[in-house]
Amino acid sequence: MLSQTTSVAGGPSPFDLAACLARARVAARLVAAADREAGLEALADAIEAGADVVLAANRGDVERERQAGTATSLVDRLTLDERRLAGMAAAVRQVAALPDPVGRLVSGWTLANGLRVQQRTVPFGVIAMVYESRPNVTVDAAALALRAGSVAVLRGSANALASNRALVHAMRTGLERAGLPPDTVQLVDDPDRAQVTALLRARGQVDLVIPRGGAGLIEHVVRNAQVPVIETGVGNCHVYVHADADPAMASAIVLDAKVRRPGVCNAVETLLVDADMAPAWLPRMLADLHAHGVRLHGCEGTLALAGEVPVEPATEADWATEYLDFELAVRVVAGIDAALAHVARFGSGHSEAIVTRSLRAGRRFQDEVDAAAVYVNASTRFTDGFEFGFGAEIGISTQKLHARGPMGLAQLVTTKYVVDGSGQVRG
Amino acid sequence: MLSQTTSVAGGPSPFDLAACLARARVAARLVAAADREAGLEALADAIEAGADVVLAANRGDVERERQAGTATSLVDRLTLDERRLAGMAAAVRQVAALPDPVGRLVSGWTLANGLRVQQRTVPFGVIAMVYESRPNVTVDAAALALRAGSVAVLRGSANALASNRALVHAMRTGLERAGLPPDTVQLVDDPDRAQVTALLRARGQVDLVIPRGGAGLIEHVVRNAQVPVIETGVGNCHVYVHADADPAMASAIVLDAKVRRPGVCNAVETLLVDADMAPAWLPRMLADLHAHGVRLHGCEGTLALAGEVPVEPATEADWATEYLDFELAVRVVAGIDAALAHVARFGSGHSEAIVTRSLRAGRRFQDEVDAAAVYVNASTRFTDGFEFGFGAEIGISTQKLHARGPMGLAQLVTTKYVVDGSGQVRG
C-alpha cells in the first residue's frame, strides 16, 4: 500500500491523522530493526527514478503560486529542477554514509549490588516535522529521521502539497522495494490547519516535533505543542566590536556575518560598537555596509558618525528585529557591560560574537552571554551543523532542553537504561 | 528584601508573577557567578535556625487539612516534625557536597579553519517546579536548582502554602546572609490556579518547568506548558516472568517490586506470566501476594489458577492503571511476543523487567521494550537517582527529550558552544 491518499475505489479518501500515527508507530518498531542504510540508498534511488513525476507535480505548484502573485523569492524556494533533485538524492546518500547514531553506549557502570547499568542511544520513534515551502526539507527530514532509526510524519506547506506528495510517494516506493515499511515516511496530506494542531497534541503518538521555518510558524508550534518539541531557528544575532578589537578583523567579521547570506538565522542583525572604537572605525564600516546594499538603522551615536551614509534612526523595534535581509541595526555602547545588557535583553539565544584582542573581555563575553554559540573573533555564520562537522543538520536549536545549537544525528536519538541483574531486589 | 509578600506598609500585597520572574532572571545572572556551595550551606543552616517558625506554620496547614477531612495519608505527607526538618537540612548538605555540574567540558574539537569549538555545561537559568503537598520538595528543588547554578520558582499546593512560605522565607534569609540574592528561591505565593497557567506560558522567562506529583498534575502541566517541560513520574511498570525464569528469583522480584513500597512510581502494577510457567509457579505467587495484603485482578488464565486466593476479573482499565497501592493486575501471556505487545500497549515508558535464564529472551526484551529503564533479572524499584548513584534525584523522566529515567544534577544543566577564533569568516 504505497499511496496514503488513494482509497480502494481509486479516488482520494479523506486524510485520517489518527490512522497515520497508528501506522507510524507500527513502522517505528520495524524500522528500529531494519537495514536503514539500504533503506536510505533506496530512498535516494527512488528520488532519481521518480524525477519526472516529481518535477511535473512541482510545475503545478509553481504555476499556481505564480498566478496567485506569490513573491518571487518564495516561488524560487518552491521550485525544483533536475539539478536540485539530484542534489537532494546526493544529500540522502551523504546521510546514508554517516555513522549510525543508534546503539552507542553513552555511559555504563556497575553498582555495589552487582547491577550493571548501561545507557544506550535508541531511536525516538515517531518524529514529526512541520515546515514551510522548500520541498527539499521533505527529503532531508525523512532521510535524517530514518538514519536516526525513527519514522517521519511530515507536514509541509499547502503551496508545496503536490510536490511533497510526489516526493513522499517516490520515497515510499523506494522503501518498499528495499524491504522497509513504506510508512517510515508519511505526509500529513490535508492542507487544513486543524491537522497541524491535532498533530501537535498527539501525546504518546508523536515522540518529538521539530518546526522549521519562519518565526510565526515556530511560535505557533511551540505555543500549541503538547508533545515534546525542539524550538529552532530564530536568530537575532549580535556582533560586538570591543574597544580593543583589531579594526580590520572586526570589519571582515561584520561584513561576512551580514552580507554573504543575510536570509539565514546565523546572520548578524545588530552591530554593537564600543564608544571608544566608534569614532575611528564606524564611519568606514557604515560606508562599506552601505556599498554592499545594506539598509542601516542607527542609534544617535551612530547617526552622529554616519557622515554622507544614509542611516535611519533606530527604534526599540529595530533592536528586536530579525531582518533576514540586507538590513542592520547599529548601536554605539558605553562598554562591555552595556553590550552584555543589550544582548541579554534583545538576543534570541542563537549566536553572539565579540571581536577583541583582550583575553579578559573575550572570556567574560563567553561566560556571561546566554546563547547556543558564543564566538570570540569569528563570524556568527559558523553556527551550522555542517560547519561544526556533524555531517548533517536538522535545524539549530535555540532552546536549552535536549539540544542547543546545531543539531545533527546525535541530537535525533534518545537513550534508555539497560540494566542487567542476577536477581537483585531493593528490599 | 526577604519577604516577597510583604508590602512596604507591612500588609500582604498581591502576588505579581511577572515581577517574580523578572527578579528571578536578575538573580539567575548573579547566581551563575556566586559561591553556590556556601549558599547551600547557608540554606541548610537557615532551615535549622528557622525550625520553630516552620513547624508552627506547618501545624496550621496540618490542622486546617485535618478539619477539612483530608485523607490521613495526605495529611501525613504534609506533616513536618523536628526529625523531618533535620532530614531536609541534611539532604541540602549532601547536595552541597556533590560535584558542581556547571562548567564541565562535554566535548571539544578544532575545525580545519582553526576554530576551536568547546561544548560546556551551563545553568538553565530559571527553573520552575510545580508540585503537590510534601513540603520537603520545596527545599529539595531549591537546593538542586542552586547546585545546578539556576534559580528556583516554586509552586507547591495550596494546602501547604503556610509551610512553604515559612521554608522559603528561611531559605531566603540564609541566602542573603551568604551574600547570594534571596531571589534565588521564590515562591508563587498565590493559590489561584491561574498563576500556574501563567507560569507555564512564560516563554523566555522560564527556562524549564518540572512537574512533580500525581498523574493529574503532570498531565495538566504537560498539556498547558508553552515553556520547555520535563515530564516525570507516571509508572505503569511490568514484570514479565518468562518461561525460562528461575522460579524463586521471579517470586522475590515480584514481591520486592510490589509490596515493599507500592506508592512509588517504580513499583510494579502488572505481572505478566508466561503460559508455560504459570501452572507450576503462579498459584503460590498469588497466595504470597494475597498474604502480603495485595488485592489481585486477573485475566481468565489467572482466575483458573487462583484456587482459594481471591482474584477479581481484570478489565481493560486494570491493564492501564497505575494503582500506587497494594493492588496488582496479573495476566497469563502466550509467550514473549504477547508480553512485548502488552508492554508496548499499556506501559508508560518508565521501568520494565523480565525474569529469565535465556540470554536471547533477555536481550530481545531489552532491545524491543521502549522505556526509560529495562531490567533483566532485577526489580523495577532500582529506577531511582540515588540507587543509580547520582547522589540526588529531581524526578524520573518518562519522556524522551533531554533526560530519560532518573534525573540527577547532570540533567539539570544545559550546554553552550564556546568558539575561539582568530578572525575566521565563512565567506
The three-point CA angle A138-A139-A144 to 5° equals 105
Amino acid at B257: A
| Residues of chain B contacting residue A427, judged by C-beta atoms under 8 Å apart | 256, 260
Is a pLDDT exceeding 70 seen at residue B279? yes
Closest to B426 (Cβ–Cβ): which among A117, A230, A381? Answer: A381
Closest to B423 (Cβ–Cβ): which among A228, A377, A420? Answer: A377
| Residues of chain B contacting residue A223, judged by C-beta atoms under 8 Å apart | 203, 226
DSSP B86-130: HHHHHHHHHHHHSPP-TT-EEEEEE-TTS-EEEEEEEE-SEEEEE
Do residue B414 and residue A401 have CB atoms under 8 angstroms apart?
Answer: yes
B414's enclosing H/E stretch is strand B413-424
Is a pLDDT exceeding 90 seen at residue A162? yes
Q: What is the mean pLDDT of residues A182-192?
A: 95
Query: What residue of A is the nearest CA neighbor of B372?
Result: A416
In sequence order, what E strands does B281-410 have?
295-298, 311-313, 327-333, 351-355, 373-378, 395-397, 405-407
Do residue B379 and residue A223 have CB atoms under 8 angstroms apart?
Answer: no
Model confidence at B7, pLDDT cuts 50, 70, 90, reads very low
Query: Is residue A202 situated within a structural domain?
Result: yes
Closest to A416 (Cβ–Cβ): which among B226, B230, B374? Answer: B374
Model pLDDT, residue B234: 85
Q: What is the mean pLDDT of residues B376-380?
A: 98
Examine the domain organization and report whether B412 and B329 are in the same domain: no
Examine the domain organization and report whether B298 and B184 are in the same domain: no
Model pLDDT, residue A102: 97
Query: What residue of A is the nearest CA neighbor of B376?
Result: A420
Query: Is residue B394 situated within a structural domain?
Result: no
Do residue B425 and residue A379 have CB atoms under 8 angstroms apart?
Answer: yes
Model pLDDT, residue B12: 57
Is a pLDDT exceeding 50 seen at residue A5? no
Model pLDDT, residue B407: 94
Query: Is residue B347 situated within a structural domain?
Result: yes
| Residues of chain B contacting residue A205, judged by C-beta atoms under 8 Å apart | none
| Residues of chain B contacting residue A256, judged by C-beta atoms under 8 Å apart | 425-427
Query: What residue of B is the nearest CA neighbor of A418?
Result: B374
Is a pLDDT exceeding 90 seen at residue B414? yes
Cα B141 to Cα B57: distance, rounded to the nearest angstrom: 20
**pLDDT digit string (tens) for B148-189?**
999 999 999 989 999 999 999 999 999 999 999 999 999 999
| Residues of chain B contacting residue A228, judged by C-beta atoms under 8 Å apart | 399-401
pTM of the model: 0.92
Q: What is the rounded average pLDDT for all residues in chain B?
A: 94
Closest to B426 (Cβ–Cβ): which among A203, A256, A401? Answer: A256
**pLDDT digit string (tens) for A358-381?**
999 999 999 999 999 999 999 999
Model pLDDT, residue B6: 43
**pLDDT digit string (tens) for A123-149?**
999 999 999 878 999 999 999 999 999
Examine the domain organization and report whether B214 and B339 are in the same domain: no
| Residues of chain A contacting residue B211, judged by C-beta atoms under 8 Å apart | none
C-alpha cell recorded at residue B312: 477479581
Model pLDDT, residue B1: 43
Is a pLDDT exceeding 90 seen at residue B142? yes
Query: Which residues does B11 contact at the CB level (< 8 Å), separation at least 6?
Result: none
Query: Is residue B427 situated within a structural domain?
Result: no
Query: What residue of B is the nearest CA neighbor of A414?
Result: B400
DSSP B120-174: EEEE-SEEEEEE-S-THHHHHHHHHHHHTT-EEEEE--GGGHHHHHHHHHHHHHH
Mind telling me how many Å the CA of A420 is from chain B's nearest CA? 5
Examine the domain organization and report whether A256 and A225 are in the same domain: no
Model confidence at A427, pLDDT cuts 50, 70, 90, reads confident
Mind telling me how many Å the CA of A261 is from chain B's nearest CA? 9
Model pLDDT, residue B5: 47
Asked if B322 and B258 count as a contact pair (C-beta separation under 8 A), the reply is no
Model pLDDT, residue B4: 53
Query: Is residue B216 situated within a structural domain?
Result: yes
Is a pLDDT exceeding 70 seen at residue B13? no
Query: Is residue A114 situated within a structural domain?
Result: yes
| Residues of chain A contacting residue B208, judged by C-beta atoms under 8 Å apart | 400-401
Is a pLDDT exceeding 90 seen at residue B413? yes
Q: Is the dihedral of CA B305, B309, B313, B317 positive or negative?
A: negative
Examine the domain organization and report whether B61 and B107 are in the same domain: yes
**Count of CB pairs separated by less than 8 Å, A with B:** 188
Mind telling me how many Å the CA of B307 is from chain A's nearest CA? 28
Do residue B425 and residue A401 have CB atoms under 8 angstroms apart?
Answer: no
Q: What is the mean pLDDT of residues B107-121?
A: 97
Is a pLDDT exceeding 60 seen at residue A9? no
Nearest to A145 by CA among A166, A168, A128: A128
Cα A158 to Cα A156: distance, rounded to the nearest angstrom: 7
Count of the separate structural domains present in chain B: 2
Asked if A19 and A199 count as a contact pair (C-beta separation under 8 A), the reply is no
Examine the domain organization and report whether B153 and B34 are in the same domain: yes
| Residues of chain A contacting residue B387, judged by C-beta atoms under 8 Å apart | 111, 426
Closest to B378 (Cβ–Cβ): which among A115, A122, A249? Answer: A115
Is a pLDDT exceeding 70 seen at residue B221? yes
C-alpha cell recorded at residue B264: 512509588
Cα A150 to Cα A123: distance, rounded to the nearest angstrom: 6
Do residue A405 and residue B417 have CB atoms under 8 angstroms apart?
Answer: yes
Cα A88 to Cα A171: distance, rounded to the nearest angstrom: 12
Cα B427 to Cα A348: distance, rounded to the nearest angstrom: 24
Query: What residue of A is the nearest CA neighbor of B366?
Result: A418
Model confidence at A6, pLDDT cuts 50, 70, 90, reads very low
Mind telling me how many Å the CA of B246 is from chain A's nearest CA? 9
Examine the domain organization and report whether A222 and A329 are in the same domain: no
Model pLDDT, residue A8: 42
Examine the domain organization and report whether B60 and B46 are in the same domain: yes
Closest to B370 (Cβ–Cβ): which among A125, A371, A381? Answer: A125
Query: What residue of A is the nearest CA neighbor of B357?
Result: A422
Pairing state between β B395-397 and B405-407: antiparallel
Closest to B427 (Cβ–Cβ): which among A260, A388, A404? Answer: A260
Query: What residue of A is the nearest CA neighbor of B115?
Result: A378
| Residues of chain B contacting residue A402, judged by C-beta atoms under 8 Å apart | 401-402
Examine the domain organization and report whether B127 and B204 are in the same domain: yes
Is a pLDDT exceeding 50 seen at residue A226? yes
Bridge partners for A241 per DSSP? A273, A355
Examine the domain organization and report whether A156 and A253 are in the same domain: no
Is a pLDDT exceeding 50 seen at residue A238? yes
Chain B interface test: which of A206, A229, A401, A420 (most B C-beta within 10 Å): A401
Q: What is the mean pLDDT of residues B307-322?
A: 96
**pLDDT digit string (tens) for A275-304?**
999 999 999 999 999 999 999 999 999 999
Query: Is residue B398 situated within a structural domain?
Result: no
Query: Is residue B128 situated within a structural domain?
Result: yes
| CATH of residue B151 | 3.40.605.10
Do residue B208 and residue A400 have CB atoms under 8 angstroms apart?
Answer: yes
State percent of chain B over pLDDT 70: 97
Do residue B111 and residue A375 have CB atoms under 8 angstroms apart?
Answer: no
Mind telling me how many Å the CA of B64 is from chain A's nearest CA? 36
Mind telling me how many Å the CA of A26 is from chain B's nearest CA? 11
Residue bearing cell 562598554: A335
Examine the domain organization and report whether B218 and B243 are in the same domain: no
Bridge partners for A185 per DSSP? A152
| Residues of chain A contacting residue B423, judged by C-beta atoms under 8 Å apart | 246, 249, 252-253, 377-378
Give ipTM to 2 decimals: 0.92
Mind telling me how many Å the CA of B366 is from chain A's nearest CA? 6
Do residue B256 and residue A426 have CB atoms under 8 angstroms apart?
Answer: yes
Examine the domain organization and report whether B270 and B317 are in the same domain: yes
Mind telling me how many Å the CA of A330 is from chain B's nearest CA? 20
Asked if B216 and B183 count as a contact pair (C-beta separation under 8 A), the reply is no
Q: Which domain holds residue A372?
A: 237-387
Closest to B416 (Cβ–Cβ): which among A203, A382, A404? Answer: A404
Cα B371 to Cα B399: distance, rounded to the nearest angstrom: 9
| CATH of residue B266 | 3.40.309.10
